[in-house]
Amino acid sequence: MVIDISQFNETYLEEATEHLGALETGLLELEKTGEGDLNAIFRAAHSIKGGAGTFGFMKIANFTHNLEGVLDKAREGELPITPPLSAILLQAVDVLREMIDAARSGEEVDDDCGVEVSKELNSYLVGEASDNGKQEVSTADSSDGIRCVNISFKPSPHLLQTGSDPLNIFRELSSLGNINVTIDKSGLPSLKEFNPESLYYSWQIALETEVGLDDIKDVFLFVEDDADIEYQEVNSGERKQVEEILELTPLANRRDDEDRRQGDRRQASTQKETAPKETAFIRVETGKVDQLINLVGELVTTGAMVSQHSQELEKDGNDSLHKVVAEMSHHTRNMQEAIMAIRMMPVSFVFNRFPRMVRDTATKLGKNVELITEGENTELDKTVIERIVDPLTHLVRNSVDHGIEMPDEREESGKPAIATVALSASYQGGNVIIKITDDGKGLNRETILAKAIDKGMANADDNYSDEDVWQFIFEPGFSTAVEVTDVSGRGVGMDVVRRNIQSLGGTIRIESIAGEGSTFTISLPLTLAILDGMAIDLSGVTYIIPILNIIESTRPTKDTVRTMRNNLEVMDFRGEYLPFVRLKDIFLLPSETPIEQGIAIIVEAENQQFALFIDDLLGERQVVIKSIEQNYKMVEGISGATILGDGSVSLILDLAAIMRKATREGLLNKGVSPDKIQGINQKEKVNHVQQ
Amino acid sequence: MSSNNSNAIATKEQGLMSVMDDEQSQFLTFILGDEVYGVDILQVQEIRGWQSVTPIPNSPKHIRGVLNLRGGIVPILDLRRRFNMEEIEFTAHTVVIVVNILGRTIGMVVDGVSDVVDFDSGTLKPAPDFGASIDAGFISGLAPIGETMVIVLNVDEILKTSDLISIDKLTEEVMGEK
Amino acid sequence: MSKTILTVDDSASIRQMVGFTLKQSGFTVVEAEDGAKGLVAAQKQPVDLVITDLNMPNMNGLELISKLRELPAFKFTPILMLTTESDDSKKMAGKEAGATGWIVKPFNPEQLLKVISRVLPS
């Protein structure tokens, strides 16, 4: 039977990546605190190597060999992990990561990949006998005609208790040729001393076979330590026989010594092994989970349809059906939540990479930074986790690179020499809040504002709040490289950071105090698959607005909505003037609803509030998000679609995109109007007013 | 297949079998205006009756909107509008031919489905530069079936030029395949 | 009736590979991902053979083997350990703990089946 084991490659590589993470975390912990679970670190390397050989990733197996060797010595207390060694071990982690990534994408790594690191690791192993990874079995001299071997097999009495059975040995021997077994019962004790679990027999076996002596000895491999075994070749050359006996003796001796020595050590290390809390896992292909999510989404949709029909029936006095349906929807919702939970992963998957990155970046810059992480167990959808990696990496690196001052500078301003970057995650309603806080110098208001004015983003005459100023660094093309930074500039890529976060349905805010540090606060939805939305009507078409964006809804009047000099409309909302944008103008729809009969939804996107005018509110819905890009192109102002209770499609609005489009088309003037809108810093969500 | 049997489904398997024997292929023929058009049946996923769709804001006029097709969001292309033909009222005969092409599922609204015909692809004639009421680029060739001349559509080309797919994405995908 | 083999390994890939190979060969397979779970799993049904990794969290293979041997049902049950070439010493420690034999990593399905046939009569 041929079994193709390549089908397990993916599992192995995924597992190896996890082990690698544990290895890295362990090493960093060790470096930081001087203490760590060396057994767990060793085990991670050991597991990577064991699987690599089995699944045919020879480069990984070979490279891990020395790493494992060094870690083995370290856990035995023979090798202290000094800072230089720690650095090499971390380099080895990088090499392995490269190798695993290459294996995953089916590429070959360069032959010299890891050679240097491997050499360095090897230098720590010098003195240890190099076993070359080969077995000590001498080459077989098989197939040189029929031989006859007499074997004397005297097992120790406890042989059966190791699960061995002499019958199995005879059976296997008989597969090699003709055998003749003679039993010797002379060792049988008196009945009084007889222990039925012990073995008192010994055997004489005459074997006629074509295979070599090594193959015969191999049959006894598992029992050779629990038995006296002698081999005597009957009609073969004398010279050969002598040679083999000579070979056998030193080999056996050597192994015994080694065993005893290492056996004792083993015992000691066994007791050190701690038992971390373990949870049982099964590995499931993400495609299967996504299919479940889709199916349960369909179920929720169909459930909504049933519910709608049952309500119609209810009018005829049939309310028992409605009750059952309500219960069913309740179960369906629970099921949906449970299935969504499968996709949830703790943010530690992202956070875990930062200790290393912060360490490396700080070391390179000559800074001393301590990273504090909090709330690593907060869970987010796998896709959100995967897509938040880049923005977070950018922000954390920026904090270390540009936020944190050099040690002497810190000292001058009376700050502790060791700077702190804190990463935290927590739940807040249906969202997860991730904060990156540093105790560095904070954003430079003057520099940013000057740059913004220079770039034509800001008006020199206007009075901007700090929060308004911070927003400029998210503008495309904004870079404060010259003034603020030495390497890349805090502004570089910040527009991408914000865009990435927004594409996940999230928001980002900055708080910064000069000399005290900055906090970047990211708010993310728990999942990308469902959304709490408000169904609205415009021109007879139903759209969904994410609740996340909605601050309040209100019915405007002719008095509250005014047209300004530039023909743009603003709405007086609790004493503040907000841009008033008619969705029909953006979507070019023929709605003629008068102001006082429609609804203004106060929304916020990209930290900008505005009033969006629509025909009517239809109520809150939890909707399953579907991609429209799967079969169609991206549509500006639309982030996705969903299927309503009646089976029809409804589009989900992307308010940030709508605001950009409105601004571009001159339908919305943000920030710099004569009636400058001020003081809208309160982001509190007020309950939606339905009228 | 009668033209008003709007829910009839032409399976891919049938199409595949016919391709196996020689150069034979099958076309689904449909009516648009005064002419008979054909599409390779291998590209057809199913045929549905017309039902109202959700309009997509700021989309070209020939994109009628999107439809829920077993949980998927499928855009619907109005072939009359695409070919700049006169618009007509949708009737019970109006159908949507759902095609699977370029890795996408897209519906095309036509006046009515005519038939499934066997055709020897060797006898496909090149499209003339003039004569047909639509752009020659959209035509793969002409196939004489009995007494009618079926205009075989190049659906790939129609979809690529109908503003259905962002060009970047298409290029990316095509490059990715190579 | 097909024989039941308990495989204990913290590596999911090895467990999958071993499990797949054994199932293909007609064995019934019970899996556990560490020694402690292996010990529990071993007592849930009759087991004809145990294959265990040595390096595992939560009770390593050697402890598992000793503990199994203390159970009346496992007094004579063959137990194979998975070990690497470099752990020659482990073979001895394993034997002392009561292992029947070992399978050297890396191994392929054929080698695995061969070793099994040695300790488990078909």
| pLDDT value of position A481 | 46
Out of C17, C36, C85, closest to residue A133 by CB: C85
- The percentage of residues in chain A with a pLDDT greater than 90, rounded to a whole number, is 13
In angstroms, the separation between the Cα of residue A54 and the nearest Cα of chain C is: 4
Is there a contact between C89 and A49 if contact means CB atoms under 8 Å apart? no
Burial class (CB in 10 A: 0-12, 13-18, 19+), A360: middle
> Given the DSSP bridges, would you call strands A202-209 and A344-346 parallel, antiparallel or unpaired?
unpaired
Check A47 against C92: CB less than 8 A apart: no
Do chain C and chain A touch with ≥3 beta carbon pairs under 8 Å?
yes
Residue at B7 is within a domain: no
Minimal CA separation from A8 to chain C, in Å: 6
- CA A521/CA A354 separation, integer angstroms: 17
Contact by Cβ (8 Å): A630, B104: yes
The minimum CA-CA distance between C35 and chain A, rounded to whole Å, is 10
Residue B89 lies in a domain: yes
For residue B46, pLDDT over 60 is answered with yes
H or E element, residue A206: strand A202-209
Residue A631 — pLDDT band, cuts 50, 70, 90? confident
Ordered structural domains, chain C, with CATH: 4-117 (3.40.50.2300)
What's the whole-model pTM score? 0.48
Q: How far apart are CA C94 and CA C62, in angstroms?
A: 6
Inter-axis angle of helices C61-70 and A238-272, nearest 10: 90
**Is residue B49 situated within a structural domain?**
yes
Domain boundaries, position B93: 12-177
Q: Does the pLDDT of residue A478 top 80, yes or no?
A: no
Find, in chain C, the residue whose alpha carbon is nearest to that of A164: C100
- Put simply, the answer to whether A635 touches B56 (Cβ < 8 Å) is yes
Tell me if B1 is assigned to some domain.
Answer: no
Judged by average pLDDT, the poorest of A12-16, A518-522, B72-76 is A12-16
> Which chain A residues have a beta carbon less than 8 Å from that of B166?
633-634
The per-residue pLDDT for B2 is 41
Mean pLDDT in residue range A650-664: 89
- C20/A133 Cβ within 8 A: no
Q: In this structure, is residue B23 part of a structural domain? A: yes
Q: How confident is the model at residue A342 (pLDDT cuts 50, 70, 90)?
A: confident
CA quadruple A388, A391, A396, A397: dihedral sign: positive
Instruction: Provide the 8-state DSSP code for A235.
Output: S
Predicted local distance difference test score (pLDDT) of residue C1: 64
Sequence-separated (6 or more) residues with CB below 8 Å from residue A555: A596, A598, A599, A600, A691
Residues in chain B closer than 8 A to A635 (CB atoms)? 56-59
Q: Is pLDDT of A28 > 70?
A: yes
B88 touches B32 (CB < 8 A): no
Share of chain B above pLDDT 70, in %: 76
Write down the CATH number for the domain with range A346-525.
Answer: 3.30.565.10
- In terms of average pLDDT, the best of A468-482, A522-536, C23-37 is C23-37
Mean pLDDT for chain B overall: 78
Tell me, yes or no, if B60 comes closer than 8 A to chain A by beta carbon.
Answer: no
Helix (H, G, I), strand (E, B) or coil at A441: coil
Q: Determine contact, residues C55/A43, Cβ cutoff 8 Å.
A: yes
The predicted structure's pLDDT at residue A337: 80
Q: Which of chain A's residues have a Cβ under 8 Å away from the Cβ of C41?
A: none
Average pLDDT over residues A188-208: 80
Using CB atoms, pick whichever of C53, C62, C100 lies closest to residue A164.
C100
A197 touches chain C (CB under 8 A): yes
| Cα end-to-end span (Å), chain C | 11
Those chains having 3 or more beta-carbon pairs within 8 angstroms of chain C are: A
pLDDT per residue over A307-339, tens digit each? Answer: 777 777 766 666 777 778 888 888 888 888 888
Residue of C13, C55, C119 lying closest to A15 (CB–CB)? C13
**Is the model's pLDDT at A564 over the cut of 60?**
yes
Contact B68 A294 (CB under 8 A): no
- Position A252 scores a pLDDT of 36
Contact flag A163-C77 (C-beta cutoff 8 Å): yes
What is the pLDDT averaged over residues A636-658?
88
What amino acid is encoded at A564 in this protein?
M
Give the sheet arrangement for strand A599-605, strand by strand. A550-554, A599-605, A608-614, A576-582, A569-573, A561-563
Please report how the helices A319-342 and A286-314 are oriented relative to each other, as an axis angle in degrees rounded to 10.
160
Is some CB atom of chain A closer than 8 A to the CB atom of B103? Answer: no
- Tens of pLDDT, residue by residue over B67-122, are 988 778 999 999 999 988 888 888 888 999 999 987 889 999 999 988 888 877 77
Could you report the per-residue pLDDT of C44-66, keeping only the tens digit for each? 888 999 999 988 888 888 999 99
| B67 in reach of chain A (CB within 8 A) | yes
Q: Do chains B and C touch (3 or more CB pairs under 8 A)?
A: no
Residue A595: CA atoms inside 13 Å, Cβ hemisphere, count?
14
CB distance from C99 to chain A under 8 Å? yes
What is the distance between the alpha carbons of residues C69 and B51, in angstroms, rounded to a whole number? 71
Task: Delimit the domains of chain A by residue range.
Answer: 5-123, 147-235, 286-342, 346-525, 530-664
In a domain, B27, yes or no: yes
Could you tell me the two tokens for A657?
């995109």
Q: What are the chain A neighbours of C20 within 8 Å (beta carbons)? A: 3, 7-8
User: What confidence tens digit (pLDDT) does each residue in A571-610 have?
Assistant: 988 888 899 999 999 998 888 889 899 999 999 887 788 9
CATH 3.30.70 fits A147-235, yes or no: yes
pLDDT, tens digit, 9 for 90 and up, residues C3-33: 899 999 988 888 888 988 898 888 999 999 8
pLDDT at residue A143, as a whole number: 45
Considering only alpha carbons, which residue of chain B is nearest residue A294? B71
Contact C97, C64 (CB under 8 A): no
For residue B17, give Cα distances in angstroms to A341, B12, B20, B23, C96. Answer: 44, 9, 5, 11, 66
Touching subunits of B (3+ CB pairs, under 8 Å) are A
What is the CATH classification number for the domain harbouring B93? 2.40.50.180
Domain count, chain B: 1
B145 touches chain A (CB under 8 A): no
Given the candidates 2.40.50.180, 3.40.462.20, 3.40.50.1950, 3.40.50.20, the CATH classification of the domain at A530-664 is 2.40.50.180
Chains B and A contact (Cβ–Cβ under 8 Å for 3 or more pairs) = yes
Size of interface A-B (CB pairs under 8 A): 75
Give contacts of C 77-96 with A, CB under 8 A. 77-79, 82, 84-86, 88-93, 95-96
Mean local confidence (pLDDT), C101-116: 86
Mean pLDDT of A97-119: 81
CA distance A647 to chain B (A): 7
In angstroms, what CA-CA distances link B102 with A131, B59, B83, B158, B164?
A: 57, 20, 21, 11, 11
Shortest distance, CA A275 to any CA of chain C (angstroms) = 4
- Most B CBs within 10 Å, among A584, A649, A655, A658, to test the B interface: A649
Q: Is the pLDDT of residue A43 over 90?
A: no
Q: Which residue of C has its CA nearest to A132?
A: C86
Q: Compute CA distances A305 → A153, A302, A412, whole Å.
A: 78, 5, 68
Report residue B57's pLDDT band, with 50, 70 and 90 as the boundaries.
very high
Which tops the pLDDT comparison, A254 or A581? Answer: A581
Mutate to test the interface with B, among A300, A305, A633 (most CBs of B within 10 A): A633
Question: By percentage, how much of chain A surpasses pLDDT 70?
Answer: 84
Question: What token pair was written down for B4?
Answer: 């008003």
Over 70: is that where the pLDDT of C36 sits?
yes
**Residues B123-128, mean pLDDT to the nearest whole number:** 76
Is residue B24 assigned to a domain? Answer: yes
Residues in A whose CB is inside 8 Å of some CB of B read: 294, 297-298, 301, 541, 586-589, 626-638, 641, 643, 647-651
The CA distance from B20 to B22, in Å, is 6
Burial of A160 (C-beta count, 10 Å sphere; 0-12/13-18/19+): middle
- Residue C66 contacts A, CB cutoff 8 Å: no
Kindly state whether A157 is in contact with chain C, defined as any CB-CB distance less than 8 angstroms. Answer: no
The H or E element containing residue A287 is: helix A286-314
CATH class of A5-123: mainly alpha
**Single-letter residue type at C112:** L
Q: What are phi and psi of A570, to 5 degrees?
A: -130, 155
Query: How does the average pLDDT of chain A come out, rounded?
Result: 78
Do the domain assignments include residue B173?
Answer: yes
